[in-house]
Chain A
């Protein structure tokens, strides 16, 4: 597709379950970002991938969060043993190059942990 694609668009899960969120960036974009937006808050940086460089995981809030990216394509964000405070919109963005001057965002995954 022409834009950043995220799936699922909505996910409802029970506390303690694992969830996997998927991001398909724009073809040719070497950089990929995950952000989280809790209700009433700004976007919170989670993780950054750039080409074959080691990812910047400095924003991951706990060891329950992990993310992978296969080459310069699809990325998955996994949250293990979900907690209610994990409820948020998870946004993926990609850019051509790692300068961060123009990010293209997906529509996000709304995660609700009951």
Chain B
């Protein structure tokens, strides 16, 4: 069974600074995908970034980047130049292939951005 662990229930960052959110996962599959989702108070789940396990290069989307350490089963999210609009709950999730396409979510990290 897959597990996703986010060890930081809450984080805070000053506007314009950089923050890193941690995520570890466990899977026995060799082919899997990892995701970071953002959920602002509007409750809309927004895909921030995705990483395919077979790709060695870390995914990047504008101010968002990941540090994917496959051997350590670690998938952290770095937010650079933090903005007030980045304040949200962030969920790490994994999909480990198979025909059911189910996502496994971590418990989430609540990010506060201080002006």
B and A form one assembly: no
B-to-A contact residues, CB < 8 Å: none
